[in-house]
Structure formats: structure tokens, C-alpha cells
Amino acid sequence: MNNSTTPQAPLLGVIADDFTGATDVASMLVRAGLRVLQVIGVPTGPLPAVDAVVVALKSRTTPAADAVAESLAALQWLQAGGVQRFYFKYCSTFDSTPAGNIGPVAEALLDALGSPFSIACPAFPENGRSIYRGHLFVGDALLSDTGMREHPLTPMTDANLVRVLQAQSRGKVGLVRHDCVAQGPDAIRARFATLRTEGVTLAVVDALDNTDLTRLADACADLPLVTAGSGLALGLPAAYATRGWLDAAQLAEACASGRAAQLDQIGGRGVVLAGSCSTATLGQIARWKSADRPALRINPLDLAAPGDSPQAHEHKLAALTAQCLAWAHRQLRQGDVLIHASAPADEVRAVQAQLGVQAAGAQVEHLFARIAQGLVADGVGRLVVAGGETSGAVVQALGVQRLLVGASICPGVPWTQAQGRPLLLALKSGNFGGPDFFADALALTA
């Protein structure tokens, strides 16, 4: 195990199931004092000399077998570089379906590591996500009573995480209740041992605040694999330091100074691309428009119709991309602009009824990918992207392979820079950020 903050091999390897989730967990590790590099997809070649590497996949909504294969490839790359501790990061609203992909990926990683047990804890108290008696709350509401019910790809209609995870897992799912978590790391470890004797492979863990997550981080720092939202990441570096795997004094200094990568200053106008239909994003779009800022709405039905040939579809895609770019080019002379496909749930359902759920999402993502390419070719150097899948599509289309993680805009969303390029990206999970997130983010880098 390494014992300094400049280890030969990174201490921690994170496998994130989408791009905004990757920047989210990277920003938490940076806040906790680690030097972090985020890579897009599974690279080849040696690992960088940092404390933690975050591999950003786009595996949240792919078929489970593909998600497993991609995640295992990421694990192998990290293992080949000498990493010994792993973190499977998913969304703090546990975005998944009965087919996966959280359970299948977690179990495949455990199998590959030869490890019998891990935790599942999407809690992110700073963003209102807490878990009590195995039930996930968003603010005061059960997950199933929030806009996540209507998510276009991963509708969450059950807040009971033990039930949700059990439906997508081969092994047995258990629970570590809050009364145990409140007693501290030793009690949590004892509960892990009991659950293991009962044949449990994945244990959902209650957490109401960062103190709970700190206790949990200490209790699970020795596990080869943890599976969690980003909240747990804040406590892990300190737990590693108490074991002598990181230098505690250097970590404290890095934490206090808020050491994050210094990103280049990149001027010029900024563009917001929103493909998220989450409640927070819809509110942010409404706020942007209410300030009379320029906004263009995309109708996915302009992109495709049932029965379109591939040629007809390509023609529509090219035409709509050109329209959007021409609009943006004009408007950007005056100020920052927003382009969104985001729509309320009833409108999304109507589109999905015509095009199919996956196809509708994919069509919109293709469009944003093309628009982003056109904008960057036109010299735009600052992009804010709302939506995990949407961010994945944009980052892939731009050929970005490594991201430096800068200062946070809000909990879970940092500015990042494509390494070696004049391109700043703020990749926002749909439900993150306050009402003025878009304007606030752009103001930070203006």
C-alpha cells in the first residue's frame, strides 16, 4: 500500500456509470484533498501519477451485459496499473431499472476481485439525498414521490433500495440501519460480519448526514470494492490516512487550501446544452428564460418519425443541427445562450410513444453531440451541459479523453477542462444545482 500523497500507483480507482457522475465524485475527492484525474472511457497505457483516477463510462442505461463488460475493462486497466481499492459510483437517486445496471455491475466487480461483500449507499446529504431504513429520500420526499418517477430512461417508482437492488441482483441484499451507523465504524463492521454470515453480498447502508458517511467510510475503507453515490468519497481519504496509506498532514493541508486543478482562463461566450428533463433542470431553464436570456427549444419529433429510413433521419439531423448552429451563431454576438430539448413529463411521454424510449433519448443525444461539435469548431470554449446521458454524448463527440477537475460550482458539479485544450466543461447531473445554476456557472469562468 502507498504511504505518501505522491504514490506510484493511484490509491483509488473509481468506475463511474456516467459522465456527470464521474465529475461529481472527482470533485468530492478533490475537496477531500486528493489529486484526481478523470479519464473518459477505458484508456490504454499507463496510469497517471495522481492519488485517484476516475474512469467515466456511459454505462447507466446500456444493456446490462455491456455495462458489465465496460466496467470490467475499466477494472482491469486500473488493476494493471497497481490500484488496489475500487469504487463503483452511481447516481445519488440510484438511477437503474429492474434489469440493472447497478446490481449486475456491482456483482461482476465483486466476482472479478474475488471479494464476497460490498455496500450500496447513494446518500449525498449536501444535495438532500439521505437513506433511512433503506428508503431513499430526496429532500423531504421519498424518491418515488419526486420527478424521478417520470425519468425518461430510469423511472424510479420505488424508494425502498433493498427491494430495488434485490430485483437486479443474483445475490442477497441486506440493510445496515441508521441506529447501527450512528454507533460508529466498529458497530458497522460488526453488522457487515453478521450480514456476511447470513449470505448477504450487497448491503444498503442508511446515512442521513456527512457524519454518517464519515463513519461508513472508515468502516468500509478496507473493502476492496465500495459501491456508492459521490457522498462517500468525501470521507474515504481521511480513512485511508488513518491507515497510513496517505500522508495525513499533506492531506489536511490540501483540504484546507482547497487544492483543485488550476484551469486555464478561457474567455468568450458560453453555451448551455440541456437534455435533462429532471425537475431541477426544468426549473433552471425557466429561470434562464425569465431573465430574457436567449433560449432555443428543440422538438425531438423534428428529428425523426416512425419508419424513417437512415438517410431520412440523417437528413433531418443535419438540417436541425444547422438551424441550431445558425441560431446560436447569431445570438452569441449578444451573450450566452441556452439550447434545450428538456420538456415536462407529459410531453416526453408523447415523444416516447411515437419514437420509443431508447430511440427518443438517442436521437436527442445525437443532435446535442453534433451541435457541440459545431459550437467548438466555431470557437466556443465554455460549455455547460445538463444531463448525465447528454453529457456523455457531448464529451464523446468532442473526443475529450482526459479532464482536469477544477473548483466546484455547487456540490457535485465542478468546472473541468479538457486536458491540453482550450475547452471548459461543466457537466451537470440533471437534478443538481440551484435555480440560477446556468448563469452562476458561466459567471464563474467569465
Footprint of ligand ADP on this chain (CB under 6 A)? Answer: 151-153, 275-278, 300, 341-343, 348, 351-352, 360-361, 364-365, 387-390, 429-430
Q: How far is the CB of 357 from ligand ADP (least distance, A)?
A: 8
- Residues in Cβ contact with 60 at an 8 Å cutoff, skipping those fewer than 6 apart: 17, 18, 21, 67, 90, 91, 95, 96, 101, 153, 154, 388, 389
Phi, psi of 216 (to 5 degrees): -65, -40
Is residue 130 within 8 Å of 94, Cβ to Cβ? no
Nearest to 22 by CA among 44, 43, 37, 4: 37
Q: How far is the CB of 318 from ligand ADP (least distance, A)?
A: 18
Q: How far is the CB of 152 from ligand ADP (least distance, A)?
A: 4
Beta bridge partners of 226: 87
Residue-wise DSSP of 259-320: ----PPP--S-EEEEE---SHHHHHHHHHHHHTT--EEE--GGGT--TT--HHHHHHHHHHH
Closer residue to ligand ADP (CB): 92 or 417:
92
Closer residue to ligand ADP (CB): 117 or 437:
437
Closer residue to ligand ADP (CB): 57 or 220:
57
Nearest to 218 by CA among 242, 195, 200: 242
Closer residue to ligand ADP (CB): 134 or 361:
361
Q: How far is the CB of 136 from ligand ADP (least distance, A)?
A: 15
Residue nearest to ligand ADP (CB): 430
Residue-wise DSSP of 181-227: HTT-HHHHHHHHHHHHHTTEEEEEE-B-SHHHHHHHHHHHTTSSEEE
- Copy the grid coordinates of residue 104: 449486475
Q: How far is the CB of 131 from ligand ADP (least distance, A)?
A: 20
Q: How far is the CB of 276 from ligand ADP (least distance, A)?
A: 3
Q: How far is the CB of 343 from ligand ADP (least distance, A)?
A: 4
Closer residue to ligand ADP (CB): 14 or 341:
341
Closer residue to ligand ADP (CB): 111 or 302:
302
Closer residue to ligand ADP (CB): 10 or 21:
21
Cis peptide before 101 (omega within 30 of 0): yes
